[in-house]
Structure 1
């Protein structure tokens, strides 16, 4: 069985994040929940992908990004697909920002969500 990955983080405002991740990154809302032991949340991703992002809101504080180098990196090896992804982010109103580590600017574009967390769209393959 292929392992599955969930990346989870708190947010102060679920609805403020949705334009960035749904309209900009093109992720789907897989499910939403409210009142689950004091947490509301949303799962984003692609229905058949072995990963998704979870954002939760509760009465607990949700800090902004701790540094400019906290990154979620999405590898898009096909140049045309990468260009479409970057254009979709810009059409949704999100301009690229300079990466703290210049490595990410060589073949990628970095974007900040409304809470200063960064996502890199990397035009490269992930060959380990």
Structure 2
């Protein structure tokens, strides 16, 4: 099975900066004026999932709550430290999660559209599963 998480945005450039330049994902592809949409695909080569971000003439209407979260688990504590450092260096502030688990097991940030992204050490998911 393949997974695509698709979301509409008003600013593809800021999304590329956040997900590619800061978080280190790859720009896997893009398209322009496909049925009046421009878009990008962001992820990692060779994996069975990616994010798609689209922009159109319609303004994005984001409706989400504080528990709608994308969680990224870097493979090592060094990778975790680098991601958190990259976000802080880009002046992206840590925000407090409403679910205390994420405050205890990672750092939460907002992407350019206001969606919550948690960077959590891989050990957190191992502890959660066990």
| Range of TM-score over shorter length | 0.7 to 0.9
Residue in structure 1 matching 2:116, options 115, 118, 125: 118
Q: Could you list the runs of 5+ residues in structure 1 that have no partner in the other structure?
A: none
- Counterpart residue number, 2:66: 68
The aligned length equals: 126
Distance 2:94 2:8 in 1: 23
Runs (4 or more) in structure 1 with deviation over 2 Å come to 124-128
- Residue by residue over 1:42-94, the C-alpha shift from the partner in whole angstroms, topping out at 9 and shown as x without a partner, is 00111122211100011233123522221111122522221111112222221
Q: Distance in 2 between matches of 1:77 and 1:33?
A: 31
Match of residue 92, structure 2, among 94, 104, 107: 94
Alpha-carbon separation, structure 2, partners of 1:86 and 1:104: 14
**More relative contact order in 1 or in 2 (CA 8 Å, sep 6+)?**
1
TM-score (norm 1): 0.88
Measured on the aligned residues, the alpha-carbon RMSD in Å equals 1.6
Counting only pairs closer than 5 Å after superposition, residues 21-100 of structure 1 correspond to structure 2 as: 21-100=19-98
